[in-house]
Amino acid sequence: MVAVQSLARLYQAVRLFVNYFQPSFKLRSKTRDGARVSKTYYPPATPCDRLLHSVQVTAEGKRRLTQRRAQLDPIRLLHTIRELQVELLRKSGHFV
């Protein structure tokens, strides 16, 4: 049960890091010319950045996203992720 709690904390830290600081490519279009497939992508952006540029998100929602991102420290999140990974390895008996 303790491992489940550690895993939940790890998931929370990873979720915050990925959503606020890890840019990713999103597919814009894909065209096929015979066997050749050409793909074009939007510029890399974080999920948070995509929401901030969306017209479907309210000004209040954008304000909360910006405020939350300002409170987060990506280096601290990475440190927390690594600590929790080691903690899980110790609990599984794979790391002494």
Pairing between strand 36-41 and 27-33? Answer: antiparallel
pLDDT band at 28 (very low <50, low <70, confident <90, very high): very high
**pTM score:** 0.83
Position 96 scores a pLDDT of 57
Neighbours of 68 (CB within 10 A): 13
Provide the domain limits for residue 19: 2-92
pLDDT in tens, 11-22: 999 999 999 999
* Burial zone of 78 (CB within 10 Å; 0-12 exposed, 13-18 middle, 19+ buried): middle
The number of distinct structural domains making up the chain is 1
Segment 72-94 shows an average pLDDT of 92
Q: Token pair 């279009």 is at which residue?
A: 29
Q: Token pair 């790890």 is at which residue?
A: 10
**Rg of the chain taking only CA atoms, in angstroms:** 19
pLDDT in tens, 49-63: 999 999 999 999 999
